[in-house]
Chains A and B, each alone.
Chain A
Amino acid sequence: MSSRPGSTERPHSGDAGAMAAGASPSIRLVTDELRPPGPPPRRHLLSIADLDRGDVERLLGTARTFAASLERHVKKLPTLKGHLVVNLFYESSTRTSSSFELAAKRLSADTLNVKSSGSSVDKGESLKDTALTLGAYDPDVIVIRHPHIGAPQLVARVTDAHVVNAGDGKHQHPTQALLDLYTIQQELERLDGLHVAIVGDVLHSRVARSLIQAFGLVGIHCMLVGPPALLPRGLAAEATSDIGAIRDADVIYVLRMQSERMQPGANFVPSLREYSARWGITPERLRPGQKVMHPGPMNRGVEIDPRVADSGDSLVTTEVRSGLVVRMAVLYDVLTGGPVGVRALAAAEVA
């Protein structure tokens, strides 16, 4: 065992909490085999559902100290020197992939970026084989984005790496939810008791699913607003199609219309113009002081008016900045013993 610096006992936070179990009745899925057979599970960040409030507060606290380190002359920390972080992206991404790469570099880790286009994935290699191939390089962390729900769980099963979910289908995008909590906390100086309205295509949004769970953990009241066909049932939040409902919110969280996840030919809204007229976030629909957030990429003129996107109450660029420090915190956390394990997906999550 390696020697520990100093002799005095440094106080530590409480033990890693037990991971939350999927309480709802689960149908048998491929992922049921992913339960680790006995020894303590490796630490991953696959879903907000695996976190408790203490985990969230620890992650946000670590992110704040990383933010302080980025104000120095030397912005790099030696923390993950010699570690390898693989970014495996099967869907396009600007913010998430670039911020994970920079987060790893700021912590002195080596990074390897693999995108599905231009890799052997183009030649028909399966996710499992790609994961095994990359696993042979002995990476410490694999960050994965994939269009299919449960892909991060598969990678966690077939490799020895700590896995971070950077978005799987419409299921989860946990680091986005964490960076949004961080942004809200920095801007509004609290979380508990705030009201947030999530507006738009909730049905196809993994961000919304992660956010609703994250808001529940920290005591934020959440309301879903959008076209009836894009508001799924069974999420732990009130839902309405009346855009007037946003007036009570401290923060308006705008979602993009995710045309790429809509079945061809499905008509969730009559047209984008109609959507924009009824649910677009315009200056007229906001009251002074309401903050506006958007996970990006924005479709200006559809779900958000350019005047809102560029206003002083828009936190969009703050969210991008938060993404860097929160992802640094996540990489650090999975490697130093955050409590998150692989959990079988509940049926409701896959539906």
Chain B
Amino acid sequence: MSATELSGKTLLDADALSRTLTRIAHEIIESNPELGDVALVGIQTRGVPLAQRLGRLIEERAATAPELGAVDITFYRDDVSVRGGEAPLAPQPVVRATQLDFPLDGRTVVLVDDVLYTGRTIRAAIEALFDYGRPERVQLAVLVDRGHRELPIRPDYVGKNLPTSRSERIQVQLVEVDEVDAVLLVSTPEEETR
């Protein structure tokens, strides 16, 4: 996607995004009396800064800093490979770091991602997580749930439910990655939706 195609309808501006994250942080504090056991694990790319922001918000409010981690799901995707010389389903992925510098055993891991769509990313992230250890429980926090689930996956913390059509795309922009905070609704031609 080139930058010019990213102009779309703004669904959340910077203020709304910040209020939404604050609310999710409160919900995580309320649902987890043992905050010391909680680890926030962001899914690369934009889940990682979101997890860091939630970590700061939780620390400000509860005086306990949850462990922070990052998980890259590239090697756990279910759409690796094409045969017979067709164009690949997705361009060569950029592999990012998985960083889980704390033992997972016994912890409550809150997976953090920007947009929840088919659920396949979350499935891959759960599988990746279990190759590092055995968390006590796994919860899911997403900034936007846009529907169209293909797997039995349900978020525990949702910033905003945004029913979309498959030909639309939700673009989350974060200062850490995109120099601006916003959630946009972008229409894409049918053949580009995957």
Binding site for B on A (CB under 8 A): 1-13, 15-16, 36, 39-42, 58, 61-62, 65, 68-69, 72-74, 76-80, 83, 107, 140, 160, 332-333, 335-338
Q: A9-B1, A69-B75 are in contact. Are A4 and B194 (CB under 8 A)?
A: yes
Q: A39-B85, A41-B85, A78-B76 are in contact. Are A5 and B171 (CB under 8 A)?
A: no
Chain B stretch 116-132: residues in CB contact (< 8 A) with chain A: 117-124, 127, 130-132
- CB distance B94 to A80 under 8 Å? no
CB nearest neighbor in B for A8:
B115
- CB distance B76 to A77 under 8 Å? yes
CB nearest neighbor in A for B5:
A9
Please report the C-alpha to C-alpha distance between residue A98 and residue B46 in the assembled complex, in whole angstroms. 38
- CB distance A7 to B94 under 8 Å? no
Q: Is B31 an interface residue (CB 8 A)?
A: no
Residues on B with C-beta less than 8 A from A3 are: 79, 118, 120, 150, 194
Residues on B with C-beta less than 8 A from A73 are: 131-133
Q: A7-B115, A13-B92 are in contact. Are A337 and B82 (CB under 8 A)?
A: yes
Q: Is B114 an interface residue (CB 8 A)?
A: yes
Q: Which of B81, B94, B118 contacts A5 (CB 8 A)?
A: B118
- CB distance B115 to A6 under 8 Å? yes
Contact with A along B1-15 (1 / 0, CB 8 A): 100000000000000
Residues on B with C-beta less than 8 A from A68 are: 97-98
- CB distance A9 to B171 under 8 Å? yes
Please report the C-alpha to C-alpha distance between residue A62 and residue B93 in the assembled complex, in whole angstroms. 10
- CB distance B88 to A8 under 8 Å? no
Residues on B with C-beta less than 8 A from A42 are: 83-85
Please report the C-alpha to C-alpha distance between residue A5 and residue B127 in the assembled complex, in whole angstroms. 14
The 9 closest A-B pairs by CB, nearest first: A5-B120, A5-B121, A4-B194, A337-B88, A7-B117, A12-B91, A6-B121, A74-B131, A335-B81
CB nearest neighbor in A for B88:
A337
A contact patch SS: loop
B contact patch SS: loop
Residues on B with C-beta less than 8 A from A40 are: 85-87
11 contacts between A and B (CB under 8 A): A6-B113, A7-B118, A9-B169, A10-B45, A11-B94, A12-B91, A65-B72, A74-B130, A74-B131, A336-B80, A336-B92
Residues on B with C-beta less than 8 A from A61 are: 95
Q: Which of B94, B97, B113 contacts A13 (CB 8 A)?
A: B94
CB nearest neighbor in B for A108:
B75
Q: Is B73 an interface residue (CB 8 A)?
A: yes
Chain B stretch 137-175: residues in CB contact (< 8 A) with chain A: 146, 150, 169-172
- CB distance A7 to B92 under 8 Å? no
Residues on B with C-beta less than 8 A from A107 are: 75
Please report the C-alpha to C-alpha distance between residue A12 and residue B194 in the assembled complex, in whole angstroms. 15
Binding site for A on B (CB under 8 A): 1, 45-46, 72-98, 113-115, 117-124, 127, 130-133, 146, 150, 169-172, 194
Please report the C-alpha to C-alpha distance between residue A229 and residue B97 in the assembled complex, in whole angstroms. 48
- Determine which residue in B81, B87, B119, B171 has the highest number of CB atoms from chain A within 10 A of its CB, and name it: B81
> With A40-B86, A160-B83 given, can you name 10 additional A-B contacts, CB distance below 8 Å?
A5-B123, A7-B146, A7-B169, A8-B170, A11-B45, A40-B87, A68-B97, A74-B132, A336-B88, A338-B92
Residues on A with C-beta less than 8 A from B171 are: 8-9
Please report the C-alpha to C-alpha distance between residue A230 and residue B131 in the assembled complex, in whole angstroms. 50
Distance in Å: Cβ of B12 to nearest Cβ of chain A: 14
Residues on B with C-beta less than 8 A from A5 are: 73, 77-79, 117-124
Q: A16-B92, A78-B127, A335-B80 are in contact. Are A1 and B85 (CB under 8 A)?
A: no
CB nearest neighbor in B for A161:
B83
Distance in Å: Cβ of A144 to nearest Cβ of chain B: 18
Please report the C-alpha to C-alpha distance between residue A189 and residue B172 in the assembled complex, in whole angstroms. 36
Q: Which of B114, B120, B132 contacts A8 (CB 8 A)?
A: B114
Please report the C-alpha to C-alpha distance between residue A4 and residue B80 in the assembled complex, in whole angstroms. 10
Please report the C-alpha to C-alpha distance between residue A1 and residue B97 in the assembled complex, in whole angstroms. 28
